[in-house]
Amino acid sequence: MMVHRRLLRLAGDIRGALAVNVILGLLVLASYAVQAVLVAWIFLLLLEGNELAAILPPLTGLLAMIALRSGLHYVSEIAAQRTAHAVKERIRGRLYAKLLQLGPGYLTRSRSGDVRTTLVDGVEALEAYYSRYLPTVAVALLGPAGILAYLATRDPLSAAVIAVSIVLVLVVPRLWDRMLARSGEVHWQRYGQLSSDYLDAMQGMTTLKAFNAVARERQTLADRARRLYHATMRYLGVSLFDSSITAFGLLAGPAIAIGLGAIRVANGALDLFTLLVLLVLARECFRPLGDLSKYWHAGYTGITSSKQIEALLQEPLLVEDQPSADGSDLEPSITFDRVDFHYPERPEPVLREVSLEVAPGETVAVVGPSGAGKSTLVSLLLRYFDVSGGRVLVGGVDVRQLPLARLRAMVSVVAQDTYLFTGTIAENIRLGRPETTDEEVRAAAAAANADEFIRELPDGYQTEVGERGMSLSGGQRQRIALARAVLKDAPILVLDEATSSVDSASEAAIQEALGRVTATRTTLVIAHRLSTVREADRIVLIKDGAIQEAGRHQDLLDLRGDYARLVSAQEVIG
């Protein structure tokens, strides 16, 4: 039988809801059984030549059963859907909470499309299992047992024949379960790959057009779709073979029992009413088994998807939260104390023995070539990852001992790749403090040199930014991100390549705003464009994962080292 512990664990406690669905299913089956007996009675009365008056009582009962069953079907459908949607809501909540716990570190190692498929399509695939299959399992075991018990009181031989047929219908198809499981897993993998590729193509449409790579990507998607087609057909082939065996058993069992009964009636060993009852009740014995086979195939997709769901739920956390730790009254200082780090999947170090202190109110810029480990410092500060060696401290406290919510409340980040959510500009600025007033939003935007261009938009602060804010320029998105950081009003500000992808005019506006914003905050600036860090209190150059030079701008120029060469190279390029 397809009652999987994994799916029961995912659902949580659904015993009450499941019991209601089972009871309703048994009542529906009982109405069919009573209807069948009434039909047999009517046939017997007609064959014996009785008048219409004699047929009216069972005919009235028959109509009552049909009406009752209609009501039971309605209630049963509502109960089934309620159970399924409650379970899906619970599982989605767990998945989303887990994803938030895993954080950006997990997403850097996973395809967004795969995660989306698990959260959306994977959970949807569970519906048939919980709403249809699980209740039908109980009905298929209990219902036929009750009908067989009644048939055994009238004809034990026929009841035994039907019982053997039921056992074979339940057992024989299970021989193909392993084959179906393998083909189902391949089908789900192919589906997830195609879904991920479609997401990549949509998100990268501009790049595909710019590089004239649309035809090549179309061919890739066509190949993925063809693989999914072949996987689907293999899965369908195994499934239909299984279904054909079940269908044969559902027809052969009643046919054999009725055929034997007819022979015995002809020989005088069985009365006509028992044969008529057998004729109608044999079908009702196998009705829940037919439903079981139908829902089994519908629910099997849920079994396949549940592996990915459980894998995500059991994914080990990259960082452990300390929600009970005390994180109050910390001064806004940052310390990297002999920090070593390598990513879990790559043994080579990204940072080696990095020591750096940023005092409260100080602005320190970290510069260096691409891949030197600059942005990794931000990930370690925010605990997207934990250090491989050494410590990161805020206010003199190891960040591993701080509640994550408290730590991240102390830090505002303006990143190179600014993400704006679908919604209005005001909603995006309010992201960190949704309770703020319109005046506070405008003040934050003014501090970020964003108020003027926002007011010029058709709907001002209520302008919809579109998906990922693509209706705005890069400089506008950056200034909205800076306004968001200003409104959050965290004592530590991190600027991670905040002006690297904007034009000179936008950079000037952002730099002017940064001068105001950083004056009252502890600021860590990650920069590749060196013109933005000249006024920093200190500049630290990282190369090959280690600090090579540190000092003020002019002091580092006088050293004539790597920093001076980077500045010279950028001035030549500029």
Q: What is the pLDDT of residues 183-203, one digit of tens each?
A: 777 877 787 778 777 777 776
Q: What is the pLDDT, as a whole number, of residue 573?
A: 45
Residue 327 above 60 pLDDT?
A: no
User: What pTM did the predictor assign?
Assistant: 0.70
In the chain the domains, ranked by start, together with CATH numbers, are: 5-313 (1.20.1560.10), 331-410+492-499+521-574 (3.40.50.300), 418-489 (3.40.50.300)
State the sign of the Cα–Cα–Cα–Cα dihedral 457, 460, 465, 470: positive
Burial of 503: CB neighbours in 10 Å, binned 0-12, 13-18, 19+: exposed
Residue 457 above 60 pLDDT?
A: yes
One-character DSSP codes across 332-365? S-EEEEEEEE--TT--S-SEEEEEEEE-TT-EEE
Residue 42 above 90 pLDDT?
A: no
Measured distance CA(5)–CA(39) in Å, rounded: 41
Q: Two tokens at 130? A: 């919980």
Q: What is the pLDDT, as a whole number, of residue 338?
A: 93
Q: What is the pLDDT, as a whole number, of residue 473?
A: 80
More confident residue, 116 or 508: 116
Q: Which of 459, 458, 430 is nearest to 444 (CA)?
A: 430
Q: Which of 519, 514, 522, 526 is nearest to 335 (CA)?
A: 522
More confident residue, 400 or 421: 400
Q: Which of 256, 257, 280, 260 is nearest to 40 (CA)?
A: 280
Mean pLDDT of the chain: 82
Q: What is the pLDDT, as a whole number, of residue 322?
A: 77
**pLDDT tier for residue 177 given thresholds of 50, 70 and 90:** low
**pLDDT tier for residue 267 given thresholds of 50, 70 and 90:** confident
Q: What is the pLDDT, as a whole number, of residue 337?
A: 93
Q: What is the pLDDT, as a whole number, of residue 574?
A: 44
Q: Which of 322-326, 417-421, 534-538 has the lowest mean pLDDT?
A: 322-326
- Average pLDDT score over residue span 300-326: 78
- Average pLDDT score over residue span 369-397: 88
- Average pLDDT score over residue span 67-81: 90
